[in-house]
Structure 1
């Protein structure tokens, strides 16, 4: 919606009229940059929505499956799912692992490949994906720009340390 020309003026007029409460949601940091932020300065509240913690996920599972006790095996399985799938609550509405995987891939694509690439004007999207793959496969390891550069070089890719810093900031 924020890509529509004049979007900011519409939001501002609805907000100023006092006849409507305006809620705008999105993961795009461009949402409150530029003209919209100028129009709404001091007249908006940001509500940050975070992923579920493991305790919240276990509590949800217990509420949905009231007839099942949270045995150690169930807790272990939940924890493995939490580590593998994360705490984004949207995946809880899907039953098949294929649908969950598609949901998470769609999120990845929309956040990384659309929002981040647009906001930062990254030109080599393929290289960014390689970089993200490296980070995802090495989440528990300490890393440096040198180790990332070495990995990408071993894969036949080239990335400067400055670009790595920019990708990490993105």
Structure 2
């Protein structure tokens, strides 16, 4: 057994010590490079290693390399290919390359490995530059990305074996949802319900994925920007409003630096920026953005008591992304804001845990303006259906909506 197989076996051996939670994400099969992207510690490495083990158990040839290990970061693609062929002299080899954004010149090296056609390539990365929409042009047509977010509520409820039939079970599912809204779905944090692990995770993302990668010099200023941005989740903001808020707390920073720091956080999958729905690119660019966190647990570090309404809105945003939608927010012609609209499907979703009756007219107005016949209001426990003219408004509890099975996110 050679060096790469030894490393692969060592990593695979660690799987038996991990408490597995089955995921709803599947890795596609084909000749394209498959990139599993998402935030640090969301389970990308585990999913990749599980896939490698399944292949080896079925008699296939597979190798795993982590570019978190410095010895591999400067390696040439041809040298890596030679090492793989020392392990498996003939036949196709599945290469699993972890944290590939740390590999110097990763895009051109992946293209070379792809073009020699000896390998099926699976890569992971904790930077958004590995998403299909942002990759360099030399990889276009050779590449597909799959986003892996922290555990969904559906995944953790399945792991906790909570079924929903009786009133007792419905009470249990709401208690589980409260827990999930508090701790979020990062695997280690969820399993141990640990504030310490949440702090450690956020510090790692700040220092490794933002400050080190982008060489941020003024750590104190960046952390102030990050604190304000995280505190503004589920709210509309502008670059100027962030700058003014910082200035009022004694941090003087220009708008360009604010934009850069928020973009670094976006690239590290700490936050998502949601645009206003409009058919004019210029209007969308000028309008405020809404900020959502990659996981609701992050807000726990800065928010007490919990703002359940904003957490719920953030959860709904993440679930829409998991289901393969691209959410926008919408402002009706009369100036009323609707939480989510998806452009292609024209789906309208409003989050109103309480007083949902006040939102029926607004979503019906949005439906009329957008030319669709139905909308959804997500509540805490109310359920039913309302009619406004020929528009149907479905009322559904948050837990039930989050548990809905969907096939849209399957490759």
- The TM-score range, normalised by the shorter chain, is 0.7 to 0.9
Shift of 1:143: 0.9
Partner secondary structure for residue 217 of structure 2: coil
1:138 Cα deviation after fit: 1.8
Q: Do residues 90 (structure 1) and 167 (structure 2) align?
A: no
Matched length: 159
From 64, 70, 81, give the equivalent of 1:4. 70
- Residue pairs, 1:1-170, within 5 angstroms: 2=68, 4=70, 7-9=73-75, 13-16=79-82, 17-18=84-85, 19=87, 22-26=95-99, 30-32=101-103, 34-41=104-111, 42-43=113-114, 44-47=121-124, 48-62=147-161, 71-94=169-192, 97=193, 100-170=194-264
Higher fraction of helix: 1
- Residue 5 of structure 1 deviates from its aligned partner by 5.9
Deviation string for 1:75-122 (max 9, x for gaps)? 22222222222221222332xx4xx11111111111121221122121
Unaligned runs of 5+ in 2: 1-66, 89-93, 115-120, 125-146, 265-411
- Higher relative contact order, structure no. (Cα contacts within 8 Å, ≥ 6 residues apart): 1
Residues 145 and 161 of structure 1 are in contact (CA less than 8 Å); yes or no, is this contact kept in structure 2?
yes
Aligned-partner Cα distance in 2 for 1:12–1:111: 32
Corresponding residue SS for 1:58:
helix
Question: 1:52 and 1:12, CA in 2 relative to 1: closer, same or farther beyond 3 A?
Answer: farther
Residue 117 of structure 2 is matched in structure 1 by none
Please say which structure displays the higher CA radius of gyration: 2
Q: CA deviation at 1:13?
A: 2.7
Compare the two structures and name the one with the higher strand fraction.
Answer: 2
